[in-house]
Structure 1
């Protein structure tokens, strides 16, 4: 066998997906994007769904390209966003296309669920911050709408578990993705019997639980033949994309470090041994999710660079097409802006004219309206950095930890101005990298599962693989 070890990471996001080759030479991982494709939701009968069969075809195309170019590969693992799932019937066939978390069917049953299971109790039982997009709300809505569903269903599978099933024929519920569901006991992969009993849902719907990094099987014979005989093992890795991203963090002082997984959304948190379930933690809006290795991620979800993406789109529709690099250059040329927006304000929660809404927000809060495009961009970035500062201060308060270093990972760290503003706002050293955090973390977990990497070296390998940049706060 070649000295190079090659595995495939399938990284699915809310708007696009990628099949990425990870090549490990014993000291670092080189990633190669082999296939990128759109992830476009479907509107069917008034509901919003994922086009899961099209996504599966695109994944197959990526595998085909990889096998054609590189021959025998070792394994594959899928990571995705959280909360969504597919429903299999008693014969193991998909009953209907999985719903999208932005579908609105949960709103009709939200109050009924919260009468049976108040939000504070959801948090106490599961560690998850209650939210109508959570699996528990979606599943309750589905059962209320279709009382025959439980009798007809064989299993529900979270999205990465569904793709692993389609590839291997093995139904398994991986721990990190299931920890986003609001269905498990806080800090465990054990189902919360109280949640299921109060809501009248059968726990038998959930497949056998497995830890992140479990080899669950290999390609189905038909797929193996289709791809030229590759024996490709299927690994339930750190299947939640944030769990994969956190697995790639090259910590230098983990006990005193926070992380920001920075992309369309920003996940600000730190790793703890046990869930934090205090009333103050609930009130501050933090959630608890599982890490690779059974640890806990205490984190807050903050609207991220989606604000810039929507701003770019609005300007393009108005006839001014700017790249993200050009937008940042405009922001860098601006003097310090006055005022702040709250990125989590409902005003900014849906697609539309974000620059116009920023002006509306500033007027309604008695702040100066940004007078140029550069000022709009800088206001967004300064406001994101301030949201990060606030979340990190709350983490210090909730855990009694003194945070000295902030690790920023993901595509958003290519915005160097945001990284520097984050260092300035927090007063802490920011270590940025790797950019391909979810893919590299996905590969690291696979290599560990295959016995090709000691996970104690994960940070060293990630640092060598991604390239790091250090930002220190500028004292004004």
Structure 2
């Protein structure tokens, strides 16, 4: 390849977004942050919404800057968190700012939905663990609160599909993001006829599905090309769920015996499988099933991640004690073995606040020693995460009937080397850490595949050449 190809990955998280440039020279992918912006939800009349028009403007600003500095751009693709959506009316316009998954409108309608589709049956039909944040709960609540929506809405678009629509004018439902909704058939990935029938909704609410293997939807509209000073630029629906993009970036040597941990504010522990794992054990352990790039399944468990550490840092900073990530990792390492182990998913840690005090409260409640310093507190958090990972890995082995020999850790959390080493120690398994920019690299890779610039068989080697991978060997195993 004589010319470096340049593509954009728009990676939206629940607290911030980024426009990332991917440069492919035929042998490696280099990623560069072009524009970063906050993603702060907005309270409107007691409800929590995403400010999608501001987000779209921020994304366009990043695209404009990339074009100004780097010239010709081949394509863009958006990946985001799951479950949230916007309504498009019969004129093709967005009805209102989409609700945030933490909006409380779903709770009053929980029992109504669960009478129609009991939680265990939701899992059987869709492969998704029932949860108030799921699209199906949100959609049911919207229709109960505003029955007229059934007539005024033409199409429902999940968040990345909405941004692809705003860029291209093409409405499509990409399967990996769709698989998070609680509305899709567990086996086929198509809209579940049974779920839609019980909700009394037409299947036409969902636009045509496109496979999670990179689909060129069209080009950026002429109006946006003119606004941003672009040439023709393709819009691609890749692995549009951010976890699907992160998993697409894993440089597997062999998927057999491999599990993954996508590690950041949240931690997702799972493995790829040919089909969904829908058993009493997987339901009881809290595992869900979602789509991967290429049409396979990922069975995974959502565990609170470095959120607890980040909230602790915010509390210390507000008290005048600013401790950076690197310094805190050094303090945690120097603190030695954790004085206590907490459950990261305890409701005590689910909301913002004084996390060090909550950890002390948890330790008192469970008869354990309270950490006294930031280093001891950080060590408790990190070691507790490693223990939670170990439990999930052992559960994965049980529900899939296949051993886990190596764990691939990806995402920003792997910059905490103590966490990676403790994960190897506590699980007793080799850990391969990298890439850090997992969602962005996975996003770029799916675009390259859609454009025919790389072959699927070459992806793992390409990612390995493009990333700094670190292998951690277990020094011992500590039973959780």
TM bucket (normalised to shorter chain) is over 0.9
State the 1:187 CA deviation: 3.1
Equivalent position SS for 2:422: helix
Within 5 Å, give how 1:68-83 maps onto structure 2: 68-83=68-83
| 2:141 is equivalent to residue 141 of structure 1 | yes
Equivalent position SS for 1:470: strand
| Residue in 2 that maps onto 1:364 | 365
Within 5 Å, give how 1:76-475 maps onto structure 2: 76-212=76-212, 213-475=214-476
Number of equivalent positions:
476
State the 1:189 CA deviation: 2.4
State the 1:226 CA deviation: 1.8
State the 1:202 CA deviation: 2.5
Q: Which whole-Å CA distance do the structure 1 matches of 2:75 and 2:4 have between them?
A: 13
The answer (yes or no) to whether the contact 2:340–2:371 under 8 Å persists in 1 is: no
Equivalent position SS for 1:293: helix
| Residue in 2 that maps onto 1:52 | 52
TM-score by length of 2: 0.98
State the 1:2 CA deviation: 5.5
The answer (yes or no) to whether the contact 2:339–2:376 under 8 Å persists in 1 is: no
Equivalent position SS for 2:77: strand
Equivalent position SS for 1:355: helix
The answer (yes or no) to whether the contact 2:282–2:399 under 8 Å persists in 1 is: yes
Measured against aligned partners, the alpha-carbon deviations of 1:393-449 in whole angstroms (never above 9, x if no partner) come to 000011111111000000000000000000001000000000000000000000000
State the 1:154 CA deviation: 1.1
Task: Please list every run of 5 or more consecutive structure 1 residues that lacks an aligned counterpart in the other structure.
Answer: none
TM-score by length of 1: 0.99
RMSD of aligned residue pairs (Cα, Å): 1.0
Q: Which whole-Å CA distance do the structure 2 matches of 1:32 and 1:188 have between them?
A: 36
Please identify, of 128-137 and 200-209, the stretch whose mean Cα deviation from structure 2 is larger.
200-209
Q: Which whole-Å CA distance do the structure 2 matches of 1:217 and 1:139 have between them?
A: 28
Q: Which whole-Å CA distance do the structure 2 matches of 1:318 and 1:42 have between them?
A: 27
Q: Which whole-Å CA distance do the structure 2 matches of 1:398 and 1:60 have between them?
A: 44
Measured against aligned partners, the alpha-carbon deviations of 1:332-376 in whole angstroms (never above 9, x if no partner) come to 111212321000001111111111110000000111111211110
The answer (yes or no) to whether the contact 1:219–1:233 under 8 Å persists in 2 is: yes
Equivalent position SS for 1:151: helix
Measured against aligned partners, the alpha-carbon deviations of 1:20-71 in whole angstroms (never above 9, x if no partner) come to 0000111110001000001011000100000000000011001101111111
Moved runs in structure 1, 4+ residues, more than 4 A?
none
Measured against aligned partners, the alpha-carbon deviations of 1:256-290 in whole angstroms (never above 9, x if no partner) come to 10000000000000000010000110000000000
Equivalent position SS for 2:32: strand
The answer (yes or no) to whether the contact 1:150–1:202 under 8 Å persists in 2 is: no
State the 1:227 CA deviation: 2.5
Q: Which whole-Å CA distance do the structure 2 matches of 1:321 and 1:69 have between them?
A: 35
Measured against aligned partners, the alpha-carbon deviations of 1:59-97 in whole angstroms (never above 9, x if no partner) come to 100110111111111100000000000111111111110
Q: Which whole-Å CA distance do the structure 1 matches of 2:433 and 2:230 have between them?
A: 40
The answer (yes or no) to whether the contact 1:9–1:78 under 8 Å persists in 2 is: yes
Measured against aligned partners, the alpha-carbon deviations of 1:150-172 in whole angstroms (never above 9, x if no partner) come to 10001110000000000000000
Equivalent position SS for 1:386: helix
